[in-house]
Every structure is written in structure tokens, then in C-alpha cells.
């Protein structure tokens, strides 16, 4: 049922899932008026993250239908509130996963607001005024300026959109493990999808030896020739996995479905770290032997702070790092969601939102 919150007077056209069937249909809803701390963004492009599928299908059991997905949002600022100093009309802006945090806890005060336990996301969240948040599969967004970043002028908007979630999610674990500063480490990336392909690009840009660990033999050629990976390990091939035991310093696991962690941990050197960012709907077993015999650590992280997101965007601007995207129209969202669920995209679908509205005009 559509919500009725005071000040939510602006009519927005978008696309929503109404049940766990996996289907998206056009949906008209309301957004708040642009407040003193807000910017309004005309959405140009929105990436399709695997998290959108988890929400559309209610994989995690937390979806509030109707859900308007989309948290890889780029566009142009069309309005700014009176308290906003960092943005002006016409700026290229990006919004990722966060819509609101408490602004007062130790994590918010310390610039790690993505770990605030009251964090509310850009869709399927509850904003400060009690309204349910609706995401970027829609024509415009009203966002508090504290959760908006600048998109460097030299980056194409469509190929920059997935940086807002996929990019920042793989950037922070690399940063947290000093892999921006020290070069020449041996890094593994498990799962060559939206998150994984950007992780490979970052790993190479930061001067490391990068191995892709994948279930898809068909991805080897491109991983090496197009993305610059140094090695490709087929995780379903036991011989290959055995021969690479104890070869990696750090592994980033981006896999969206339940899988075995033991063989992945065995690829780490003694004292190596496995950082998990993928979010399968079922718990994964953590075998103790590869941990204790290798003094290995397992960690996880969620996206990054807004400060880190801006840092990553600027770095991508400097190094010209963009995502490999397949741009689709709004009439192709369901097809794209199905193809993403079937592991059939290289490497991120991005919806041409503005194109859909201009073609109707």
C-alpha cells in the first residue's frame, strides 16, 4: 500500500516489486519535498546490484513491499536546500546505499556511519520522518546531502554508477588491509561478477598480483585479457585448487550464494585474511582446521562511509577506473534481473533511467 507521510507531495514514477516473484512493474509513489538539508537529483542511471535481487525476492526475509530497488544512483542535482553548501544545481552527484544514520553514535562520530546500528538504506529503509525509502529505479531522488557524493567530471555516468555500491564495497576491505599503500601482494577475488570485476581492477591499479577464483571457465580469457587478472583459478577444478594452496596473502569473497569456505581458506598463506563481502541468504560453514593450521583470519564489511566513498570516486577519477557495464532500458529490467540471477552479465547491468523518460516525452 502506498504510504502517506506529511510533506511527501511529489509524485515520482518508478519501478517496484510487489511480491517475491522476482518481477518489477511500473509504480507511482510520493517523495518528500526538498528539505533544508536535502538535494534533489534527477536520476540518469542506476546499477542493478545482486542485493536488488535479494530484496526483490525477499531472500533475506526483510523486504517491505512494494520495494523500489536501486542503490547505485547517479544523476544531476536539480534542487538544493538552504543548509547545503557542498552541492549546487547542475552538479554530477552519486548516491549509494545509505539514506540516514543516527549521526550521534561512536561510529557516526568516527566517520564509520555505515556501521551505525540505526543505519537506514536508500530503499527498504525507514527515513527519519518515518517514511519508507524508495531507491533509484525511479525518475528522481530526494537525498540528505550528507549521503551524497560528487562524481568526477571525467567519468562516464553509466560506467560510474556501480561504483556507488559495488565499487565502495570492494574498496574498503582493500584499504582496511593496507593494500592501497603496500604494493606487490598476492590477492584473490572470489566470484567474477559486479563486485568482483571492480575488485580485480582496483587490485591491479594498486599494484598487486591478482588471481580470480571462479566457478565459470568461460570467464578466464576476459578476466586476463580485458580486466588484467594475472591468474585464473577454476574453483570447481580440485587439481587447480590444490596447486594454488598457500599462495595468496588476501582474498576477497564476493559470492552471492552459499559455497564452501574451506578450499578458499586453503589458498591463503599462513596469517592470510579472507574478507567476505558477499551476502548469501544461508549461513556458511566455517571449518576450523584451515584457520588453526594457517593462523588465518576471516572478516567481513559492509559498503563504506561517505568519506571513503568520495575518496574512492576521486581515485577512480584520477586513475580512470570505471565499471564494465551493459546499459538496459527500463523495459528490460525484468530480463536483466533474470540474467543477473543466472550469472549472465559482464559485469554490471545499468538502467538508463533518464533515457526512458525522455523517450516518453
Name the residues that contact ligand NAP, by CB under 6 A: 49-51, 54, 165-166, 169, 191-196, 214-216, 219, 254-257, 259, 277-279, 302-303, 340, 343
Contact 116, 125 (CB under 8 A): no
Contacts of 242 (CB under 8 A, 6+ apart): none
Contacts of 25 (CB under 8 A, 6+ apart): 15, 16, 17, 18
Span of 115-123, 134-142, 165-173, 321-329 interacting with Zn ion by CB under 5 A: 165-173
Q: Does 256 bind Zn ion (CB under 5 A)?
A: no
CA gap 186, 130 in Å, rounded: 46
> Peptide bond before 347: cis, by omega within 30 degrees of 0?
yes
Residue 348 beta carbon to ligand NAP: minimum distance, rounded to whole angstroms: 7
Q: Does 195 bind Zn ion (CB under 5 A)?
A: no
Using the minimum distance from each CB to ligand NAP, give the nearer residue, 125 or 193.
193
When CB distances are held under 5 to 8 angstroms depending on the partner's kind, the choice from Zn ion, ligand NAP, none that residue 131 binds is none
Q: Which of 8, 46, 48, 51 binds Zn ion (CB under 5 A)?
A: 51
When CB distances are held under 5 to 8 angstroms depending on the partner's kind, the choice from Zn ion, ligand NAP, none that residue 256 binds is ligand NAP
CA gap 274, 268 in Å, rounded: 8
Report the length, in residues, of the chain.
361
Q: Which single residue brings its beta carbon nearest to ligand NAP?
A: 193
Residue 320 beta carbon to ligand NAP: minimum distance, rounded to whole angstroms: 22
CA gap 324, 40 in Å, rounded: 27
- Total binding residues toward Zn ion, as defined by CB under 5 A: 3
39 strand-pairing partners: 80, 143
Q: Which of 16, 43, 48, 49 binds Zn ion (CB under 5 A)?
A: 49
Residue 165 beta carbon to Zn ion: minimum distance, rounded to whole angstroms: 3
Contacts of 2 (CB under 8 A, 6+ apart): 29, 30
Site residues for Zn ion per CB under 5 A:
49, 51, 165
Amino acid at each position: 500500500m502506498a504510504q502517506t507521510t506529511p510533506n511527501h507531495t511529489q509524485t515520482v514514477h518508478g519501478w517496484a516489486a510487489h511480491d517475491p516473484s522476482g518481477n518489477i512493474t511500473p509504480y507511482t509513489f510520493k517523495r518528500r519535498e526538498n528539505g533544508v538539508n536535502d538535494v534533489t537529483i534527477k536520476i540518469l542511471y542506476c546499477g542493478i546490484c545482486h542485493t536488488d535481487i535479494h530484496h526483490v525476492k525477499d531472500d533475506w526475509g526483510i523486504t517491505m513491499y512494494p520495494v523500489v530497488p536501486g542503490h547505485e544512483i547517479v544523476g544531476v542535482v536539480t534542487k538544493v536546500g538552504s543548509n547545503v553548501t557542498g552541492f549546487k544545481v547542475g552538479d554530477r552527484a552519486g548516491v549509494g546505499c545509505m539514506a540516514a544514520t543516527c549521526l550521534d553514535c561512536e561510529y557516526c562520530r568516527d566517520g564509520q556511519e555505515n556501521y551505525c546500528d540505526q543505519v537506514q538504506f536508500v530503499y527498504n529503509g525507514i527515513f527519519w520522518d518515518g517514511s519508507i525509502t524508495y531507491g533509484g529505479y525511479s525518475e528522481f531522488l530526494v537525498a540528505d546531502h550528507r549521503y551524497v557524493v560528487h562524481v568526477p567530471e571525467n567519468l562516464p555516468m553509466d560506467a560510474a554508477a556501480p561504483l556507488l555500491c559495488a565499487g565502495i564495497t570492494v574498496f574498503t576491505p582493500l584499504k582496511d588491509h593496507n593494500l592501497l599503500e603496500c604494493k606487490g601482494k598476492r590477492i584473490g577475488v572470489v566470484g567474477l561478477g559486479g563486485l568482483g570485476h571492480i575488485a580485480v581492477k582496483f587490485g591491479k591499479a594498486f599494484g598487486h598480483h591478482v588471481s580470480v577464483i571462479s566457478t565459470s571457465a568461460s570467464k578466464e580469457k576476459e578476466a586476463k585479457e580485458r580486466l588484467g587478472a594475472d591468474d585464473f583459478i577454476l574453483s570447481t577444478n580440485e587439481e587447480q585448487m590444490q596447486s594454488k594452496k598457500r599462495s595468496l596473502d588476501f582474498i576477497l569473497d564476493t559470492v552471492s550464494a552459499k559455497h564452501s569456505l574451506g578450499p578458499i581458506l586453503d589458498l591463503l598463506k599462513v596469517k592470510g585474511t579472507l574478507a567476505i563481502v558477499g551476502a548469501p541468504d544461508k549461513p556458511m560453514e566455517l571449518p576450523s582446521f584451515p584457520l588453526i593450521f594457517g593462523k588465518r583470519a576471516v572478516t567481513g564489511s559492509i559498503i563504506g562511509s561517505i568519506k571513503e566513498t568520495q575518496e574512492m570516486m576521486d581515485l577512480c577519477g584520477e586513475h580512470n577506473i570505471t565499471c564494465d557495464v551493459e546499459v538496459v532500458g527500463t523495459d528490460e529490467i525484468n530480463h536483466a534481473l533474470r540474467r543477473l540471477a543466472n550469472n549472465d552479465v559482464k559485469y554490471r547491468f545499468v538502467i538508463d533511467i533518464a533515457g526512458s523518460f525522455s523517450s516518453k516525452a
